Amino acid sequence: MFDNILMVCVGNLCRSPTAEILLRHHLDRADCTVHSAGLAARDGAPMDATSMKVLAAHGFDGGNHAARRLDDALLSEAGLVLAMEPSHVEAILARAPHTRGRVMLLGRWLDERPIPDPFGQQRPAHEHVYSLISDAVEAWLPYL
């Protein structure tokens, strides 16, 4: 059983915070920390406004999110790292080869489906990504 799960995307503004919020909700376990970070995040940046609106439409609040850049400490502490795209997995493994076996795609159980970046796009793109993330999170639940 994993007690520390890290979601990773690029900016930690749309995808990884959405995945963090959804997985934390579905797991609802006090013994498991779920958090997120970005490969190129600007520390302290708020969640993307459109992603927050989509979350709110589904009953979730992303207002307390503050982006943070992925660092070695986060990678060392995480028992499972779930990235949005294959390039994210590659970047993490290049940076921290010791994480091999703990870094996987969020879409692993959905035919390794990547989760595209909706940043800067209109709301329909964010809704689509929310749906992909929701499906991927639910597909992970039996394994967590």
pLDDT tens-digit series, residues 23-68: 999 997 888 999 999 999 999 999 999 999 999 999 999 999 999 9
> CA 45, 49, 52, 57: dihedral to nearest 10 degrees?
170
Q: What is the pLDDT of residue 30?
A: 82
CATH superfamily of 4-143: Response regulator (3.40.50.2300)
81-119 burial: b if 16+ Cβ within 10 Å, else e: bbbbbeebbebbbeebeebeebbebbbbbbeebbbebbb
Region 74-81: mean pLDDT is 96
Inform me whether the pLDDT recorded for 16 exceeds 80: yes
Residue 105 near residue 72 (C-beta atoms within 8 A): no
At residue 29, the pLDDT reads 81
- pLDDT of res. 39: 98
Using one digit for the tens of pLDDT, what is the confidence trace for 101-125? 999 999 999 999 999 999 999 999 9
What pLDDT digit, counting tens, does each position of 126-141 carry? 999 999 999 999 999 9
Mean of the pLDDT values across residues 57-80?
A: 96
End-to-end CA distance of the chain: 6
Where are the chain's structural domains? 4-143
Give the residue-averaged pLDDT of 13-25.
97
Residues serving a catalytic function are: 9, 15, 117
> Would you state the structure tokens that stand for residue 114, as one six-digit string?
């990547």
| Distance (Å, whole) CA 10 – CA 5 | 17
Task: Supply the DSSP string of 44-110, one letter for each residue.
Answer: TPBPPHHHHHHHHHTT---TT-B--B--HHHHHH-SEEEESSHHHHHHHHHH-GGGTTTEEETTTTT
Residue with tokens 């490969």: 39
